[in-house]
Amino acid sequence: MAGVGIIVVFDFDKTIIECDSDEWVLEALGATHLFNQLRPTMPWNRLMDTMMTELHSQGKTIEDIAECLKSIPLHPRLVAAIKSAYALGCELRIVSDANVFFIETILKHHGLFDCFSEINTNPSFIEEDGKLRIFPFHDFSVSSHGCSTFDLCPPNMCKGRIMERILVSLETKKRIIYLGDGKGDYCPCLKLGEGDLVMPRKDFPLWDLIACNPGVVKAEVHGWSYGEDQERNLLQLVNRILLEEENRSSQQMLSAECKLQTTVPIPAAQEALPQALRVSH
């Protein structure tokens, strides 16, 4: 079933998981008060990097952070949906403003890591002393990522630019299904065309932005609220696309056969072999 021509792109926080992973870890490790104090003073990525340094200085280990991440709830129906879409041959990718360590830890814990072919998120790594470092996907201290879509994209990441890169990299046309919830998910939805599909989480910023400008997003819109309808809608759309592709392939084969019969007629039985030459003696 590989290569069916469908790419499913997921946001992560509040789309795959039920919360914001940054806030979950800080609250679980008792760092929310300091975070709120520092929040007005620096960009989010730099703040999270600072908070990881602070937690390390308090004796919190990378194992402590990992255990917090493993306790984040995933709706069981979404886990099933991801595994089903992967089994049907869809290519699954993540575009998220979280970070590599958080996402990989959670996906591996739930047995989902191998389902994804690509994770686009903020880089992170563990230093020799065990301290987690987090850096911006786009280094905005050097240059801007250049997107001005309603000022919705944070300075460290334009998901629309990532979507453009995904679309350009495709060797053949593929259908995109995009799932997201936040205002940063609006820009990539604008890059999609007719035939693509968007699944915004209802009553979240992405849903509201699309509802305010219903004619701007060219892709079909199919909302969802919780894991059950997220799974149902996603698999219905995947199966619909598979059926459409199967019907299109059948029509193309039938058309090719009809064309062959029209342009290359089958010779009559008496003309099947050349006439023998008479040999005179």
Out of 11, 49, 185, 196, which one is annotated catalytic?
11
For residue 20, say whether it is annotated as part of any ligand binding site.
no
Rounded Cα gap, residues 72 and 48, in angstroms: 18
Does 64 carry a binding-site annotation? no
The continuous run of DSSP H or E covering 199 comes out as strand 197-200
Residue 208 annotated as lining a ligand binding site: no
Planar angle of CA 168, 170, 174, nearest 5 degrees: 115
In whole angstroms, give the CA distance from residue 230 to residue 207: 14
Torsion, CA 150, CA 156, CA 160, CA 162, rounded to 10: 170
Among residues 13, 49, 185, 196, which one is catalytic? 13
Say if residues 9 and 176 touch (Cβ distance below 8 Å).
Answer: yes
Which amino acid makes up residue 260?
L
Instruction: Indicate if 208 belongs to the active site.
Output: no
Distance CA 148, CA 45 (A): 20
Query: Which residues sit opposite 199 in a β-bridge?
Result: 179
List the binding residues for substrate.
Answer: 22, 97
List the binding residues for Mg(2+).
Answer: 11, 13, 181
Which residues belong to the active site?
Answer: 11, 13
List the binding residues.
Answer: 11, 13, 22, 97, 181
